[in-house]
Amino acid sequence: MIHTTTFRRLILSTILALAVPITDAAPAKPAANKAVATAKAGKTSKPAAKNTNKTTSKPTTSGKSTAKNSKTAPAAKPAANGKNGKAVSGSKTSKSTVNGKAAAPAKTAQTPCGKAQSAVFQAAAEGRLDALKQHKNNKCDLKKTDPRGFTLYDIATLNGRKNITDWLVANKIAQKNQYSSALVKLVQTGLRYLGHDAGAANGKQTAATAKAIKAFQRANHLSQSGKIDAAWLPAFNKELGKKTQSTLKNLGYKTGKNTNISTAIQAFRQERKMAKSGSYLDDQLIYQLMLAENEAGKKTDKRKGADRRARLAAQNAAQQQEEAQRSAENQRKAAEARARAEAAAREAAEEERRIAEQERIEDEQRAARNAAELAAARQQTEAANREAQQLRAQAQNISNANPGEAEQRRLNEERAARRAAAAAQAERARQQAEAARRAEEQARQQAQTAARSAAQARVEAQNALRTASDPILAQSAGRPAAKPRGNKGFTRANGILSLGTSGGVLSSCSVGGRSIDIGWCQQYYPDGDGRQCSAVISNSGIVVSLTCK
């Protein structure tokens, strides 16, 4: 293989050396034309190659002798010797040809094999076996590698073209499962790119490479051989293409169609100033993609960090604002609750004051009525007593003056007694009416007390409802509430009823040693003396009720 490659390179150098004088030196034109014709004829170029092989090992003594014998195409000697090449042309073009950099002049003298070489690589990728057979029929070298260093066998295996690989092995152009170091480097770099550490990309199948291959095979549900072979390379090539497309898209390239993928790869190579151009995948491209992805990841992480800090700052600000709003709302609710409580307290106090004032007025009016009624009853009693005394005195006088008038006196006394009895009956009726009135008043007071209790209960229920719906009031609900002021305007006197008389008339009354108005005791006179009684007395000394057992 090495001998054939050297042979082809020498032919190409000879053609280029003879083609240079076309533009630089006019005398060399016939030789160049002959060289081109020789290159196009397969049979003619083969003897030229043999002559070249024979002469390359011999030292060249002079550049002039080479120029004199241009018809036999001894230009292979200058191609093998840099100094002679410089002497032939005497220009930069010849020197650059020796260094293998004169790509443009080579196009004008490219052989059919050279023209078809790139197409053969594409045919191997697409599985077009007829193109490879035609290339072989043209006596072209099928063992050449593409710019990446990939052989036809490498390319066909990566693309899953079994018909191509079998034909290459059958024609002894390639050996089964024997791959170039360039492909091994792509596998090593590509596996790392896909997340499987294959070790150093040195083009050798190491233990780390085998481990990474097994990891890829396991992840893709393939048989785990750990070897580079056709069983998994097509899947690897597909995943590598997807990851490349994704990375280029993330880097900002358009990758919507296959043509865009190709142009994106070429643009990426130019951006990264890579030595090789083209839209193919190799280890250097994958390595640069990993670097670019890492750089973009760092920028993204930095941007994400800044975005995260900005989001946290915004969230903290929003949280503080929310807490401030919640605090303000709680304060507002607490203020409203305090205002409602204060209003309820004022309302209750006002209601209590109004009721107390009303009770005071009613007590004073009742006391005035009782005092007037008692005074009137006392006056009536006293008048009746005086009248009775007068009648008795008159009767006595009449009896003393005229015994015949005794009967008249008796009648007068009876009339006086009847009047006194009627007066007493009237007093008892009055007392009973007063008792009924007091009972009615007591019932009214009890109704008022019940109404006040109901109003207070209603206020307490409303406060409890507000407290239950307000968390601030609910917290303060645990504190002891102020006890409502009770009705302390009355006292109760319990004890033995004591009735005092003067001249057969009730003159004093007391319960448990506490004096009360005799008007309340008339109903129990004279047989109520010594009974167990209870009297309710206001702070002003007015009796409200008297009950005895």
pLDDT given for residue 258 in this prediction: 58
φ/ψ region of 149 (left if φ > 0, alpha if ψ in -120 to 50, else beta) reads: left
Question: Per-residue pLDDT for 64 more than 70?
Answer: no
Q: What pLDDT score was predicted for residue 77?
A: 37
Count CB-CB contacts under 10 A for residue 78.
26
Helices (H) and strands (E) in the chain, counts: 20, 5
pLDDT at 31: 37
Label residues 492-530 b or e (16+ Cβ within 10 Å = b).
ebeeebbbeeeeeebeebbbbeeebbbbbbbebbeebbe
Confidence of residue 478 (pLDDT cuts 50, 70, 90): low
User: What letter would DSSP give residue 174?
Assistant: S
Q: Tell me the pLDDT of the chain averaged across its residues.
A: 75
The answer to whether residue 414 scores a pLDDT higher than 90 is no
Reference 79, options 38, 108, 42, 48; nearest CA is 48
| Mean pLDDT confidence for 39-59 | 37
Q: Could you read off the pLDDT of 272-316 as tens digits, one per residue?
A: 999 887 888 999 999 999 999 899 888 877 777 777 787 778 878
What amino acid is encoded at 352 in this protein? E
Name the pLDDT band for 372 (thresholds 50, 70, 90): confident
pLDDT band at 456 (very low <50, low <70, confident <90, very high): low
- For residue 151, what pLDDT is reported? 96
Q: b vs e for 18-31, b when ≥16 Cβ sit within 10 Å of the residue's Cβ?
A: bbbbbeebeebeeb
The phi and psi torsions of 503 (rounded to 5 degrees) equal 65, 35
CA atoms within 13 A on the CB side of 52: 27
Q: How many Å apart are CA 352 and CA 345, to the nearest integer?
A: 10
Going by C-alpha positions, the residue among 127, 194, 120 that lies closest to residue 157 is 127
By the 10 Å C-beta count (0-12 exposed, 13-18 middle, 19+ buried), 352 is classed as middle
Residue whose C-alpha is closest to residue 209's, from 239, 243, 232: 232
For range 226-253, the mean pLDDT? 94
Length of the chain equals 549
> Residue 169: its pLDDT value, please?
97
Report the alpha-carbon distance of residue 84 to residue 95 in Å, rounded: 10
Q: Which residue has the higher pLDDT, 106 or 450?
A: 450
- CA 425 from chain centre, in angstroms, equals 94
pLDDT of residue 203: 93
Q: Binning pLDDT at 50, 70 and 90, where does residue 522 land?
A: confident
Q: What is the pLDDT of residues 295-306, one digit of tens each?
A: 988 887 777 777
**Which tops the pLDDT comparison, 49 or 164?**
164
pLDDT value of position 511: 92
Q: Which of 64, 76, 5 is nearest to 38 (CA)?
A: 76
pLDDT mean over 463-470: 60
% of the chain surpassing 70 pLDDT: 69
In angstroms, rounded to a whole number, what is the distance separating the alpha carbons of residues 402 and 391? 15
Please list the helix, strand and coil fractions of the chain in percent, rounded to the nearest 5, in that order.
70, 5, 25
Q: Is the pLDDT of residue 143 over 70?
A: yes
Instruction: Say which amino acid occupies 130.
Output: D
Please give the torsion angle defined by the CA atoms of residues 453, 459, 465 and 469, in that order, rounded to the nearest 10 degrees: -150
Instruction: Give the model's pLDDT for residue 61.
Output: 37
pLDDT value, residue 81: 37
The three-state secondary structure class of 533 is strand
- What spatial distance separates the first Cα and last Cα of the chain, rounded to whole Å? 144
Contact present, 220 and 230 (Cβ < 8 Å):
no
Residue 50 has pLDDT above 60, yes or no: no
pLDDT at 23: 35
**What are 68-119's pLDDT values in tens digits?**
333 333 333 333 333 333 333 333 333 333 333 333 444 445 567 877 788 8
Taking the domain 114-292, which CATH number applies?
A: 1.25.40
**Which pLDDT value is given to residue 468?**
62
pLDDT confidence of residue 90:
36
CA distance 64 to 84: 9
pLDDT band, very low/low/confident/very high, at 503 (cuts 50, 70, 90): confident
Q: What Cα–Cα distance (Å) separates residue 455 from each residue in 344, 452, 459, 462, 490?
A: 11, 5, 6, 10, 22
Across 105-114, 414-423, 429-438, least confident range: 105-114
17-31, 261-275, 472-486: lowest mean pLDDT where?
17-31
Mean pLDDT of 483-506: 76
H or E stretch covering 217? helix 207-219
Determine the average pLDDT of the residues in 380-395.
Answer: 78
Q: pLDDT higher for 106 or 341?
A: 341
More confident call, 175 vs 28: 175
Does pLDDT of 461 surpass 80?
no
pLDDT of residue 312: 77
pLDDT for res 173: 95
